[in-house]
Amino acid sequence: MTTLETYFSLTSLLLLFVFAGRVQSAVFDVKNYGGKADGKSDISKALLGAWKEACSAKGSNIVVVPKGTYSIGLTDLNGPCKGAMELQVQGTLLAPINPSSYAKDSWITFAYIDQFKLSGGGTFDGQGQVAWKQNNCGRNPKCKRLPVSLRFDFITNSVVQDVTSLDSKNFHVNLLGGKNLTFDRFTITAPGDSVNTDGIHIGHSNGINIINSNIATGDDCISIGGASEQIRITNVRCGHGHGISVGSLGKTTDEFVSGIFVRNCTFYDTDNGVRIKTWPALHGGMASDMHFEDIMMKNVRNPIIIDQMYCPWNQCNPKLPSKVKISNVTFKNIRGSSATAVAVRLNCSSSFPCQKVELADINLTYGGKEGPVKSLCANVKPTLKGKLTPTIC
């Protein structure tokens, strides 16, 4: 472990100890503000009332949603607050079912809060089944965006722990401008055919840790967008979606990503395992210092993939090469089973070939009818170490 990795690990542990060690906290129960656990009455005003009072008080304060089922409309829980804040969701929160009832692109938003903890063992139920049928954003760039379940904007030195996001209409979590934020024992669940239900999307953030979590969605378990640095993903189970992706990059602006560490994770029945994807023809940028290690693949269609020709639904000119530069990438100790014969696919840009790509101790098997397991490579000359199955390039 590098010195920088040790620093972020110790910082995250320190945050957990700080939150765990709070004493003499004031408690603000939403039921005391008119919240009813009948599954029908909207508790957004009650939650906002409890939040505002707790946020304006000094010291460490806890807002509690007790066990039970609650309906809640669009809610913004904003800082800055005078002290540390914790929201304990012990029950189940139900989102509005009809997407047309949303006046903005998120259901519950947390913004501009330092020293925040979201906990309680409860569930945020996005009730997305109706919305998925209306989602055509993959094919129509001018589509109306469906709402994200949980938005974290500019949250710092904080922890999300022991909560569940269920059946979001769009992304389960959108993270923007976060710094030193840890997701621990976080569960995300949606069917494999739910559209655009990314688990956690990260953008413009630094020092994000996702640990000890289970994510099974219809899209990327975790997607890492531009201007993101020092992202650590450890001990995550990722199922029946599109895997863990860096990108897509280079669609709308020059984008830069660095310091991505994915370790000790398991992928099962996903379209992709660990993936780096950039758009051709459009904008530039750089993705560097990315490391994928100690990973188990179970029936994954593309266990290891770099795709610099990512262009779904013909939204670009695939004949022009990507302008995003990829460098310093390692794939190490990745094992398990591929659902297709091509277990390793490294398709780099002809204008900016991938640099300093290393594969070590790869053992991926394939038992189907498409022939022996193999790799496909373009515009890359990787460094190879240890035992490699399939033979690389």
The answer to whether 321 and 348 are in contact (CB under 8 A) is no
Residue 35 token pair = 């919240």
Residue 229 token pair = 């640095």
Residues 6+ apart with CB under 8 A from 160: 117, 118, 119, 152, 181, 182, 183, 184, 186
The answer to whether 99 and 146 are in contact (CB under 8 A) is yes
Residue 59 token pair = 């010291």
Residues 6+ apart with CB under 8 A from 272: 242, 243, 245, 300, 301, 302, 303, 305
Q: DSSP 3-state assignment of 10? A: helix
Rounded CA gap, 95 and 355, in Å? 46
* Residue (of 153, 60, 54) closest to 115 by Cα position: 60
Neighbours of 107 (CB within 10 A): 24
Q: How far is CA 132 from CA 180, 186, 196, 216, 304, in A?
A: 32, 23, 8, 16, 28
The answer to whether 360 and 334 are in contact (CB under 8 A) is no
Rounded CA gap, 17 and 40, in Å? 37
Q: Give the residue numbers marked as catalytic.
A: 242
Residue 74 token pair = 């669009």
* Residue (of 166, 32, 18, 184) closest to 92 by Cα position: 166
Neighbours of 320 (CB within 10 A): 16
Q: How far is CA 104 from CA 91, 110, 134, 149, in A?
A: 25, 14, 17, 11
In the block, tokens 């000094």 appear at 58
